[in-house]
Structure 1
Amino acid sequence: MQKKYFLPFFSLLCLTGFSLSAQQLSGKLFSKETNESIPYAAVQIGENYGVITNNEGEFQINVERFSANDSLHFSSMGFVEQKITLKNFKPNSTIYLKEDVSQLEDVFLVNKNLSMEEIMTKVNENLDKNYNYSLKKFDIFSRKQSTTKVLDMEFEINKATFLDKSVRKNFNKSIDSLLHINKNSTNTSYSESYTQIFIGSSLDSLKVDLQKVTQLKDETKAGDAEDFSSQVFGKIAKNLKSKNTFKVKSGLLPIDDSLEVGKSFKVNRSQDSLLTKEVKSAYARSMKHSANLHPGKLEFIEDFKAYDFTQEKITGYQGEMVYVLNFVPRKGRAKYHGTLYISSETFAIVKAEYELGEGEKAAGMNLKFLLGIKYRRNKNTGVVIFKKNAQNTYDPMYMKSSTQDYVYLNRSFKFKENTDDRSNRIKFKFDLLAENDSNINQELLFVKAEPITTETYNSFTEKEGVVIEKIKKYNASIWKDYNIISPESDLKEFEY
């Protein structure tokens, strides 16, 4: 009797296995010729749905809403696209792509033979036509890694009439504890989020649906100079018993005539939720001003005459023939070097890789002796990939940026209570020094992009925010229902 029912039951397991256990598929992408991993390759299923391989060639994709006969499409610059049906895909398998050795150059050069300057001129002429984000909805997964090395921290109260003897000792003790924990320390943290953004008829109109946020961070340590300053100000506010506002000066400069110290300096060291308005503000700035989202704002495209371009080859990518141009500085104002991938038909930038030259700075100011402030961005590298849509414009698909910032802050602050009772007026003065190096790596995966109507935009109502899921070690199951960038080894092994 057992033999009679064994085969049907086993067959049932096989039939249901795809829908139950294969909702999240993962694997690796390698070059067949070199046996090297292929980073930033597209892994798609359906027209506007997919992920990108990470820097180690790994990917994971949720296929719950697709059938066993649907196909995964694997594509990358310079490789022949490969398709595998879901029913034939083996979990955690390695897929090998063949290099594209077709004679595209011969076919292409018969019809067009443009100079580098002509190509870059056409890129700039077609920017507005190629990139249009109005009335769009994007599903975005974001991952941010921040590593801060605290070089120096000091805090000294010169005067504090608001601290009576009973609390002065405890206050100083808490400040000393902050300095002890943070000084000469290195702190690494990770944050991840999944967000839907709705863009109206202009980039000024944006709505956000924040769906999930995770945080892997040691909250006992300050993240950077700003975080340390906030902790100090928060402790001041906690001990400040006044309902009045304050006049604030830093050095000779007035900062505020009516600062509500209690409200301004209260810091929740254990932030449990992330507000929609905070995320909305960040995405609004990015959608309107980010050079990665608007390639015409990239220095080496906007000011392309300051660079020397050389054509490496012509290749194919997702049905388009693509120029591959390397660029290096030609004039003193040029700072970057890298590679551009440009559609031969639309002259859209479909991919850009760039890096700040050695000894250059992306931004900075030095007011160390005048105002006690110094800032310098010593590193700025990026990768940005776009995908052509059904409307023949281009949507962002993936972005990665890596920056290294040096920040120095050495300031004196004076606070004076706004009250007519001068004999009991609260005054306090303190010196604050904070110096740190910060390395930030951020990735954005545009999982899905689709056009929307004005009615869809108007009907969506934002919620207040979401609770942050705090973890001490990376847990892949947290994102099992989402399409994300597969975590690299450093994140998988990180814990505190």
Structure 2
Amino acid sequence: MLKLTPPFFILSFVIFASFGQAQTLTSVIVDSATQKPIPYVTVQLKKKGVITNEEGRFTFQLDNTIQPTDSLFISCIGYATIGRPLNQFTEKQIVLAAKAIDLNPVIVTNKNYTPEEIIEIVEDSISKNYNLGLGKKRVFLRETYSSQIMKTDYTLKKSTIDAFNKQFIDNLINQIPKNNTVYNEALGDLYGGSDGDQQKLDLIKASELYDKSMELDFEILEEKFNKIMKENVKTDSYFKIKSGLFGTKVDADEMFESEVDSTDVAALNEQLEKEKESKENRKKFFAKYKRQTMGNLYENLPVFEDTDYNVLFKPGRYELALEDFTYLGDAAVYVLSFTPKRSEEFKGKLYINSDDFALIRMDFENVKPLRDFSLLGVSLKEYLAKGRIIFTKGNDQKYHLSYYDITKGIRAGFRRPLKIIEKNKNVKGRRKQNELSMKVDAAFGNRNRYELVVFDETPINLSQYDSFKENNTVLPKYMPNYDPEFWKGYDIIEPNQAIKEFTSIGEAED
């Protein structure tokens, strides 16, 4: 639905100009024939752009420089571009019509290019078409982590602690959440070039949306486990944890957190200092993780030589085919498919501007597992890596990353014997005190999605890059339910319906 707050378009600008309140333009873009939403459409206003989400929705922040007569341009591959003043968008949705393919003489001539020749020209034109140097980018990263426990079979062989019986273990397994989803979002300025390890990040704001009650369930289970252990295990014992031929040693005091006496001021101060240090470390870790994630995505763009999607630099390793001509606005576009001949990992499609031979979009999907490890009952398979990369031409007439979307899928398994033995050298007689022995057959699955949106990129020189110093103090704001006000005033990619409808089972407080 296209809306402005207040609902009357012209009135909203009068109010905005008078009171300086931020306005938003929100709508859904649909196909004129099917009436279905169109994902990943580019929406531009005064040379500033956003991308629609997979449901065709977008939100645009309007500042006091925007006038009702400013034109909004909407373009998508295969559709006719529309551009008209904001005050003419009065319908509940924006409709795009498919563009008829009417090839001009230039395209007909270019049609004689072989796919290999097109790729060669694209590679030769990379330095002309893209900023390969340092830049400052306003970026938004949304990460979606979905986990699933697919199997939790076990056989209890021996337990010398009565409380650790089959009923307790069954109860423990039944309380573990079988499915869980976490959404993380972060906005910031990313400084750097093609090297993922040399990025710098200035975090602005971040959030995490998940059901904290699931986390609390684990805490309750841990309390039950620790209670049983404290009642049955000697504090000066140690544990031998064995799985087949492999084993490790753990002291008993490492398994339990010691309680602090509330009357011991020195101990309380020490604990507070540790908590403060822990929070500072968490800030550093959070910023470092976000920087690495963004850097890893950015350095893997297909226009950089060390990319995993190396079809532009090693076309001989792929079967190439000219699939189609289409349009992105008024620009004619080649659509090339690529399929690996031998050991390469990805197939997909390339969308190439026939005028300047710039790659403007890549769709990709793995053709085989990226990792497939199995040894002595432990297995790990990265079975999925699928997504798309979109470039948009900027004010400098060079193409810049505007959207990177990738979904990764991993399955892991553990099918091995597990034995936990309590030993104590201070007890007369045998050192062995207790034993818990079982055979475990478990399987887990994760599907993680990363969406990186670049709203603006400005080239910078080495001096500007060196002068920026990271000082990230931002931690994500926990939200038990989706909060539409959190990102108010900021450009992000519109959340999908699953995020908007997310509600914790137990609305835990921050």
TM class by shorter chain equals 0.7 to 0.9
Instruction: Specify every segment of 5 or more residues in structure 1 that has no aligned partner in the other structure, as ranges.
Output: 1-9
Q: Select the residue among 470, 485, 492 that pairs with 2:500.
A: 492
Matched residue count: 462
Structure 2 Cα separation of the partners of residues 322 and 435 of structure 1:
45
Judge conservation of contact 2:195–2:295 (CA < 8 Å) in 1: no
Residue 95 (structure 1) shift: 1.8
User: Partners of 2:304 and 2:442 in 1: how far apart?
Assistant: 33
1:99 maps onto 2:101 in alignment: no
Cα offset, 1:261, TM superposition:
6.2
Residue matched to 2:185:
192
1:363-382 equivalences under 5 Å are 363-367=371-375, 370=376, 372-382=377-387
Indicate the residue corresponding to 2:24 in structure 1.
Answer: 24
Question: Are the aligned partners of 1:27 and 1:59 in contact in 2 as well (CA < 8 Å)?
Answer: yes
Shift of 1:152: 3.1
Deviations 1:453-479 (A, max 9, x none): 334333333224323222222222211
Report the alpha carbon displacement of residue 416 of structure 1 after superposing the two structures with TM. 12
Q: Distance in 2 between matches of 1:31 and 1:22?
A: 30
Match of 2:188, as an amino acid? T
1:451 aligns with 2:459: yes
Q: Which amino acid aligns with 1:322?
A: V
Matched residue, 1:84: 84
Equivalent residue, structure 2, for 1:288 = 299
Aligned residue in 1 for 2:468: 460
> 2:174 is matched with which residue?
180
CA distance in 2, matches of 1:315, 1:485: 26
* Counterpart in the other structure of 2:267: none
Q: Tell me the SS of whatever aligns to 2:212.
A: coil
Q: Distance in 2 between matches of 1:261 and 1:433?
A: 27
Residue 249 (structure 1) shift = 8.3
Aligned pair partner of 1:315 in 326, 330, 335: 326
TM value normalised by structure 2: 0.72
Letter of the structure 1 residue corresponding to residue 108 of structure 2: L
Q: Which residue is equivalent to 2:147?
A: 148
Distance verdict in 2 for CA 1:257–1:323, change over 3 Å: farther
Superposed, which structure 2 residues align to 1:78-477 within 5 Å?
Answer: 78-90=78-90, 93-101=92-100, 103-110=102-109, 113-127=112-126, 130-153=129-152, 179-182=173-176, 185-199=178-192, 203-221=196-214, 252=245, 275-289=286-300, 296-298=307-309, 300-301=311-312, 304-317=315-328, 320-328=331-339, 331=341, 333=343, 336-357=346-367, 360-367=368-375, 370=376, 372-410=377-415, 423=426, 434-477=442-485
Q: Which amino acid aligns with 2:62?
A: V
Return the alpha-carbon distance in structure 2 between the equivalents of residues 130 and 11 of structure 1: 39
Amino acid at match of 2:81: E
Deviates more, 1:132-141 or 1:101-110: 101-110
Is the alpha carbon distance of 1:113 and 1:469 closer, same or farther for their aligned partners in structure 2, counting shifts above 3 Å? same
Paired residues of 2:390 and 2:404 also in contact (CA < 8 A) = yes
- Structure 2 partner of 1:6: none
Q: Encode CA deviations 1:232-260: one digit per residue, 9 max, x unaligned.
A: 79x88x989999x99998765688999x9
Check 1:111–1:218 CA distance in 2 against 1; reply closer, same or farther (3 A cut).
closer
Change (3 A) 1:128 1:407: farther
- Alpha carbons of 1:202 and 1:302: their partners in 2 closer, same or farther (altered >3 Å)? closer
* Letter of the 1:180 counterpart: N
Higher mean C-alpha displacement, 212-221 vs 298-307: 298-307
Aligned counterparts of 1:28 and 1:44: Cα–Cα separation in 2: 14
Say if 1:463 and 1:248 are closer, same or farther in 2 by CA, change over 3 A. Answer: farther
Q: Which runs of 5+ in 2 are unaligned?
A: 1-8, 257-273, 505-510
Preserved contact between residue 105 and residue 313 of structure 1 (Cα < 8 Å): no
Distance 2:364 2:243 in 1: 39
CA distance in 1, matches of 2:33, 2:249: 64
User: Could you give the per-residue CA deviations for residues 350-370 of structure 1, whole angstroms, max 9, x where no partner exists?
Assistant: 10112345xx42332122xx2
Shift of 1:62: 0.9
Once residues 417 and 472 of structure 2 are traced to their aligned partners in structure 1, the CA distance between those partners, rounded to angstroms, is: 37
- Aligned partner letter, 1:324: V
CA distance in 1, matches of 2:250, 2:133: 41
* Structure 1 CA distance for aligned equivalents of residues 448 and 86 of structure 2: 36
> Contact conserved, 1:276 with 1:463, CA < 8 A, in 2?
no
Query: If the length of structure 1 is used for normalisation, what is the TM-score?
Result: 0.74
Task: Name the CA distance, whole Å, in 2 between partners of 1:452 and 1:415.
Answer: 57
